Amino acid sequence: QVQVVESGGGLVQTGGPLRLSCAASGSIPRINAISWYRQAPGKERELVAIITGGFCITNYADSVKGRFTISRDNAKNTVYLQMNGLLPEDTAVYYCNVDVRHSAYHAAEYWGQGTQVSVSS
């Protein structure tokens, strides 16, 4: 069983920085990728950023490019999302998704409970 826990959310002013953390634990033979999603009220969940488990290849949603940075601490099995220049439209619940490769033919995704990010105007 894999556990995923997000932390670091809170209330910040427009333009401020915030860093989210995603810690994974449990039976993890290999991580394919770790992603950050977000969901605002009345909106569908959208992909924000992704980092692969091997060579740390990253990709970002167009709306956050140049402002958000995803990174990984291999020793702690933790991924971070550094958010700078926050905007009110960034307000959402942010979820971490861990894609685990259990075998050559079996992969599974695990979700955290989410952490609230609120940006005041």
What confidence score (pLDDT) does residue 52 get?
93
Among candidates 14, 12, 4, which has minimal Cα distance to 87?
Answer: 14
Angle at 23 between CA 57 and CA 32, to 5 degrees: 35
- With a CB cutoff of 8 Å and minimum separation 6, the contacts of 77 are 23, 24, 25, 28
pLDDT, tens only, 30-41: 999 999 999 999
**pLDDT the model gives residue 75:** 76
**Terminus-to-terminus CA distance in the chain, angstroms?**
41
Q: Rounded CA gap, 121 and 105, in Å?
A: 48
Mean pLDDT of 2-7: 97
pLDDT in the model for residue 54:
82
User: Any idea what DSSP says for residue 87?
Assistant: -
12-29 confidence digits (pLDDT tens): 999 999 999 999 999 999
Q: What pLDDT digit, counting tens, does each position of 49-107 carry?
A: 999 988 889 999 999 999 999 999 877 789 999 999 999 999 999 999 999 999 999 99
Strands lying side by side in the sheet with 78-83? 2-7, 18-26, 78-83, 68-73
Q: Six-digit token pair at 50? A: 């992704």
Helix (H, G, I), strand (E, B) or coil at 112: coil
Query: Nearest-5° angle of CA 29, CA 59, CA 111?
Result: 45
